[in-house]
Amino acid sequence: RDLATLQSQIDEQVRPQSFELKNLILRGQVKLRRDKVAVRNVLAYLPGSVRTDEYVVVGAHYDHLGWGHSGSLAQGIRAVHNGADDNASGTSAVLELARQLSAAGSPDRSVILAFFTGEEWGLIGSEYFVDHPPVPLDKIVAMVNLDMVGRVRNDTLYVGGRESAAAFDEILNRADEVSVLQLKTFGLRGMQSSDHYTFAQRRIPHLFFFSGLHADYHRPSDDPDRINYRGIAEVVDLAEQVVSELAGMPRQQYVAATLPADHNGGGTTRRFRVSLGVMPDYGSDESTVGVRITGTAPGSPAEKAGLRDGDIIVQLGEKKIENLYDLMDFLGRASPGQEVKIVIQRNGEYVESRVVLAPGRRG
């Protein structure tokens, strides 16, 4: 084996290419160089007409995965990941929302439209925003995040963060009454999955609009021809009503979310040792014991094990899976290639199978 071939395989597959060198001892030194590059958030400002020194932030991340690498779920495939849903959909929605808000006249409060960079690498852009705010942070009354809103199915839109302020339920219910979309609570399970989380950490009320996971997530196949454009337009109309109400409502106190006691924190940058290839149903009832899924990724361990839409994972190996955090903990501890028992609940019955775990990725 030559070094150039091994390096090429490592670059393409983003995993070690280890093998044994018998009767050989090597000594060497390694020097690492970290190259820093400048990336930018892009901000726009719509001045308010009454409380001009208070702000609603509307955000979406505009970065994606480039050629894929460690963030891709299509390991071993070198291809451009266009990210039509994740997150060109949210970016275009905020652009259209800016046009509609501007055409409607000045809102009571000012609106900051934020296009964040570096979300896929750990909420870097939104973290920088709250660490170096363009306006006093205590003057930001609410944040609305649009991430992956391009795959609306059955007129369903998931909403997270509605528990972060007392008035949010009423605002969302009014919007739901006039929209063709049916709002389904995203719940605490998705709290840390996108840029709204950095605002939650600063105790700022927040909402997160999301159309759900799908088989093209973090794959080269997340392309424009699979986008529900009418659905995005409906999301924008609903978001306009919500943002307009946020800009005019009495200021809300932040209500802290209560995460499970065994949740150890951390954002979206967690690196999982293994991949199962399931798409959790983030809108499932919080009382559900286990992790309900909406499908499996093509060729994934879960698909090979026969899992399908609606299954509830309740056990992996010897670990009981009671919620998404249990699943994340398992994926962070198991080993690639390991074969484990998987127990699912399907139509009220328990089904047991075996699954061989694939190498993991950045979470």
Calpha distance 277→300 (Å, rounded): 5
- Considering the chain, tell me which residue range(s) the CATH 3.40.630.10 domain(s) occupy: 42-248
pLDDT at residue 48 in the model = 96
pLDDT at residue 69 in the model = 74
**pLDDT, mean of residues 130-144:** 97
**pLDDT, mean of residues 312-316:** 96
Q: How confident is the model at residue 113 (pLDDT cuts 50, 70, 90)?
A: very high
**pLDDT, mean of residues 257-264:** 52
Chain centroid to Cα 184, Å, comes to 16
Looking at the domain 274-359, which fold is it?
A: Pdz3 Domain (2.30.42)
pLDDT at residue 134 in the model = 97
Dihedral of alpha carbons 86, 234, 172, 91, sign: positive
More confident residue, 298 or 345: 345
**pLDDT, mean of residues 172-200:** 85
pLDDT at residue 258 in the model = 63
Lowest-confidence region among 49-53, 75-79, 246-250: 75-79
Q: How confident is the model at residue 8 (pLDDT cuts 50, 70, 90)?
A: confident
Calpha distance 71→120 (Å, rounded): 8
Average pLDDT of the chain? 88
**101 pLDDT above the threshold of 80:** yes
Q: How confident is the model at residue 332 (pLDDT cuts 50, 70, 90)?
A: confident
pLDDT at residue 250 in the model = 95
**pLDDT, mean of residues 102-115:** 96
pLDDT at residue 272 in the model = 63
- Considering the chain, tell me which residue range(s) the CATH 2.30.42.10 domain(s) occupy: 274-359
Lowest-confidence region among 34-48, 182-196, 205-219: 182-196
Calpha distance 287→299 (Å, rounded): 30
Q: Is the peptide bond before 87 cis (omega within 30 degrees of 0)?
A: yes
Q: Nearest CA to 362 among 72, 74, 11, 80?
A: 72
**286 pLDDT above the threshold of 70:** no
Which tokens go with 77? 């495939």
**pLDDT, mean of residues 9-22:** 76
**pLDDT, mean of residues 318-339:** 85
- Each as own residue / partner, the long-range contacts of residues 340-343 (CB below 8 Å, 24 or more positions apart, any chain) are 340/316, 341/315, 341/316, 341/317, 342/305, 342/307, 342/313, 342/315, 342/316, 343/313, 343/314, 343/315, 343/316
Which tokens go with 320? 């009981």
Calpha distance 259→92 (Å, rounded): 32
**261 pLDDT above the threshold of 70:** no
Q: How confident is the model at residue 71 (pLDDT cuts 50, 70, 90)?
A: confident
Is the domain 42-248 a CATH 3.40.630.10 member? Answer: yes
Give how far Cα 216 sits from Cα of 74, 81, 83, 220, 329, Å: 9, 10, 9, 7, 24
Give how far Cα 114 sits from Cα of 22, 125, 144, 248, 285, Å: 56, 10, 10, 20, 31
**362 pLDDT above the threshold of 60:** no
pLDDT at residue 14 in the model = 61
DSSP per residue, 8-71: HHHHHH-S------TT----------PPP-----EEEEE--SSEEEEEEEEEEE----TT-GGG
pTM of the complete model? 0.76
Calpha distance 183→138 (Å, rounded): 29
Helix axes 168-178, 229-248, angle to 10 degrees: 140
Lowest-confidence region among 129-138, 267-276, 289-298, 331-340: 267-276
Calpha distance 152→14 (Å, rounded): 32
Q: How confident is the model at residue 257 (pLDDT cuts 50, 70, 90)?
A: confident
**264 pLDDT above the threshold of 60:** no
Beta strand segments in the chain, E: 42-46, 51-61, 109-116, 140-146, 156-160, 182-185, 206-210, 274-275, 278-280, 291-296, 312-316, 319-320, 339-346, 349-356, 358-359
Q: How confident is the model at residue 270 (pLDDT cuts 50, 70, 90)?
A: very low
Chain centroid to Cα 158, Å, comes to 12
